[in-house]
Structure 1
Amino acid sequence: MNASLSKLVGGKEGLVGLAVLAAIIFVALPLGVDIFRLNLVGKYLTYAFVAVSLVLLWGNGGILSLGQGIFFGLGGYGMAMFMKLEASDPITTKIQTTPGIPDFMDWNQITSLPWFWEPFKSLPLTILIILTIPALFAYLIGFAMFKRRVGGVYFAIITQAIALILSILIVGQQGFTGGVNGITDLKTVWGWDTRNDSAKYILYYLNGFLLFGAILLSKYVLNSKFGMLLLAMRDKEERVRFSGYDVSNFKIFIFCLAAMISAVGGAMFTLQVGFMSPSFVGIVPSIEMVIFCAVGGRASLIGAVYGTLFVNFGKTFFSESYPELWLFIMGGLFIAVVMFFPDGLAGVWAKYSHKLNVFKKKSSLTSATAIIDSTKNEGSKKAVNEIDVTNIEGAKA
């Protein structure tokens, strides 16, 4: 393996981890579950974008954000606005008082499309907005906070407050955002129906490939010089600052990158599910996304994906099997993971795989020792036999 590829995937161990995850996502799950369940898995994988971003931000940067739902929601609403405009053509909406605008605007007596909706008539421009607006918003928050050395629990509370404010704003501006119902009845992208089974398969695989792209990008960042400085900043921030580096710029950059990755997950969520609402922007979803990362292992990119799948599969199973108890069961599960497995699923794997490697090495060493002892014994027997033959021949002489 050449140096650049090793740097990208994280060596042989990282390559094996990616291969196993790819086999599960692209082969095992599509072959093992029906299209309804596969679409659910696709929804779970959109949350994994946020979990991966939190590994960058929290696990390696030491910056706990309780507001990643902000950027997930911005990406989701961006894609929803494009799809809603496509579904609101003058022919489809001819029964409205004002044809050609979204139905919730017509219900709220808005007679023309607001100016900030205009760019979402174009898909390329929508994709550009999905990538840039969350990053710009993260830059404004990061610049205001990190330049003043606001961090730790204070930063976590502030991001939580911003998530709450944004969700309240979306609900309050019902005529422009759809309010508490969100933006619904999303059907097509450039005329392509996203609701049939073949489209769901395509979106699932697209979602998986984009997730792997986010993981590889994150691995590249973490394995670079910037990644080493990020870890140093997490453990000894003052020492990094005294070494001449501007710590605030590092934090702003990683916060913006995490926001961009989360926004891609939000856009894919809208495509997979067919709607977007403020319930995915506020405090509760943001905290759940932190839990996904913590369960998988906040220092492991691949572990974050497994943690997201594990928690959401658990939520689905318990809510279907024990509808009255599933919240208590999931709460107990989270407490148990935090208490007994502080490094998450990735930490458990690392611990037991290390013990397995040690056991294999001991077994190999024992076998090698036995072979050496056997060789020595054979050599000793041979030497004794040679001495006996020599003595017998000497006595005959």
Structure 2
Amino acid sequence: MTMPLTPTPPNQTLLARASARLGPQLSLAVGALTLVVLLALPLLHLLPADHPLQVSAYTLTLVGKILCYAIVALALDLVWGYAGLLSLGHGLFFALGGYAMGMYLSRQSAGEGLPAFMSFLAWNELPWYWYGTGSFLWALCLVVLAPGLLALAFGFFAFRSRIKGVYFSIMTQALTFAGMLLFFRNETGFGGNNGFTDFKRILGYDITAPATRAALFLATVALLVGSLALGFRLARSKFGRLLTALRDAENRLMFCGYEPRGYKLFIWVLSAVLCGLAGALYVPQVGIINPSEMSPTNSIEAAVWVALGGRGTLIGPLLGAGLVNGMKSWFTVAFPEYWLFALGALFILITLFLPQGVIGLLKRKSS
């Protein structure tokens, strides 16, 4: 005998419809409010120092640094959350973009002479790969080409050999570790252990002037918003659906006649270029770039940002980057020796209790 279906009470139906409408509207409202706050920060920084609403250079630099990290988290989410490629080497692409911009800033500081570290090492002329770095346009080309071409070469051979899973992650970690060891050497011409620092001017403007800091911050916000818009456009397109199919069932996708290597390579290179652009904006705001940015630990931290926020959501990794780096800023001042333990514990707790991250938790609460 067939059991009669129990009709859904009208009140529950109305509540479900209301929450379904309210969810996107609330998200848009929070996003718009966040954007307004971010756009207001550089304007408040331009106020006189004795003004009660003035935002200090330290605060603006800290938020700008976190925004650069948020772009890295978004870039990693494109390859891990959508294509299923866990990279533990995105710190290398970030640092390459930073070094490309640092070369330009070092040339600006040196004027007609050699950068300070080259004079200290008794170098007589610029290496060939430094030629043209006094031009801002060429520096921007290097910001895109250095991480992009490396990602293209690495991805071509890795995807051609059908390397995936944990083996792909280990290879990306080995790549960034090799890059760190290379840049630590003085004879490579990248400042060795100290890297590049003591920047003075960018495009002829004083790099520490409030107006310059505000302009760099606004450029970072623009890159973050543009990257987010591009990510959503890709995720909601046929390309994005193919990426998720590739992540969930690559063999079935191949059986349907698709060749996954091209899709993987495109999103991999795009992700690397976004990291390079973030690194290029990070360096003039923070004022230093050295090989420690290529440390595998930094790339693992980026994976924690994405996992905490919720991979495959684009918005989640931004939240994760903000939360973890906010905690790091406090921990490294109050309890510097315990930060790595806290980071490891955080990753374990996420894996056990928040497999879908903060975004997944918020979705469960609202449903």
TM range (shorter): 0.7 to 0.9
Determine if the alignment matches structure 1 residue 85 to structure 2 residue 107: yes
Residue 150 of structure 1 deviates from its aligned partner by 0.7
Residue 328 of structure 1 aligns with which residue?
341
Determine if the alignment matches structure 1 residue 53 to structure 2 residue 75: yes
Scaled by the length of structure 2, what TM-score is found? 0.86
Matched residue type, 1:89: G
Change (3 A) 1:325 1:162: closer
**Cα pair 2:186 2:193 within 8 Å, conserved:** no
Residue 145 of structure 1 aligns with which residue?
158
- Correspondences of 1:286-301 after superposition (within 5 Å): 286-301=299-314
SS in 1 for 2:138: helix
Q: Whole-Å Cα distance in 2 between the matches of residues 327 and 57 of structure 1?
A: 25
Q: Whole-Å Cα distance in 1 between the matches of residues 315 and 38 of structure 2?
A: 12
Residue 17 of structure 2 aligns with which residue?
none
Residue 272 of structure 2 aligns with which residue?
259
Match of 1:276 among 289, 306, 329: 289
Matched residue type, 2:76: L
Residue 36 of structure 2 aligns with which residue?
23
**Cα pair 1:105 1:175 within 8 Å, conserved:** no
**Cα pair 1:314 1:330 within 8 Å, conserved:** no
Change (3 A) 1:135 1:325: closer
Residue 185 of structure 1 aligns with which residue?
198
Residue 336 of structure 1 deviates from its aligned partner by 1.9
Q: Whole-Å Cα distance in 2 between the matches of residues 67 and 125 of structure 1?
A: 25
Q: Whole-Å Cα distance in 2 between the matches of residues 334 and 170 of structure 1?
A: 29
**Cα pair 1:110 1:175 within 8 Å, conserved:** no
**Cα pair 2:186 2:192 within 8 Å, conserved:** yes
- Correspondences of 1:352-391 after superposition (within 5 Å): 352-354=365-367
- Correspondences of 1:1-397 after superposition (within 5 Å): 15-16=28-29, 18-27=31-40, 34-90=56-112, 100-174=113-187, 176-354=189-367
Q: Whole-Å Cα distance in 2 between the matches of residues 13 and 58 of structure 1?
A: 27
Q: Which shifted more, 182-191 or 31-40?
A: 31-40
Residue 12 of structure 2 aligns with which residue?
none
Matched residue type, 2:261: S
TM-superposition CA deviations, 1:90-116 (whole Å, max 9, x none): 3xxxxxxxxx11111122221111111
Residue 368 of structure 1 aligns with which residue?
none
Residue 48 of structure 1 deviates from its aligned partner by 1.1
Gap runs ≥5 in structure 1: 1-10, 91-99, 355-397
Matched residue type, 1:341: L
Scaled by the length of structure 1, what TM-score is found? 0.80
Matched residue type, 2:336: P
**Cα pair 1:319 1:326 within 8 Å, conserved:** yes
Matched residue type, 2:309: G
**Cα pair 2:74 2:317 within 8 Å, conserved:** yes
Q: Whole-Å Cα distance in 2 between the matches of residues 33 and 237 of structure 1?
A: 49
Identity, in percent, stands at 38
Q: Whole-Å Cα distance in 1 between the matches of residues 140 and 277 of structure 2?
A: 9
Change (3 A) 1:240 1:208: same
Q: Whole-Å Cα distance in 1 between the matches of residues 258 and 178 of structure 2?
A: 34
Larger radius of gyration: 1
TM-superposition CA deviations, 1:357-395 (whole Å, max 9, x none): xxxxxxxxxxxxxxxxxxxxxxxxxxxxxxxxxxxxxxx
Aligned residue pairs, count: 336
Change (3 A) 1:36 1:77: same
Residue 121 of structure 1 deviates from its aligned partner by 1.5
TM-superposition CA deviations, 1:159-213 (whole Å, max 9, x none): 1001011110011144610001011111211211111233222221221111111
TM-superposition CA deviations, 1:53-111 (whole Å, max 9, x none): 11100001000110001110110000000010111113xxxxxxxxx111111222211
**Cα pair 1:72 1:265 within 8 Å, conserved:** yes
**Cα pair 2:78 2:271 within 8 Å, conserved:** yes
Matched residue type, 1:26: L
Matched residue type, 1:333: L
**Cα pair 2:185 2:192 within 8 Å, conserved:** yes
TM-superposition CA deviations, 1:328-356 (whole Å, max 9, x none): 334323322222111111111111122xx
Matched residue type, 1:80: G
Q: Which shifted more, 244-253 or 336-345?
A: 336-345
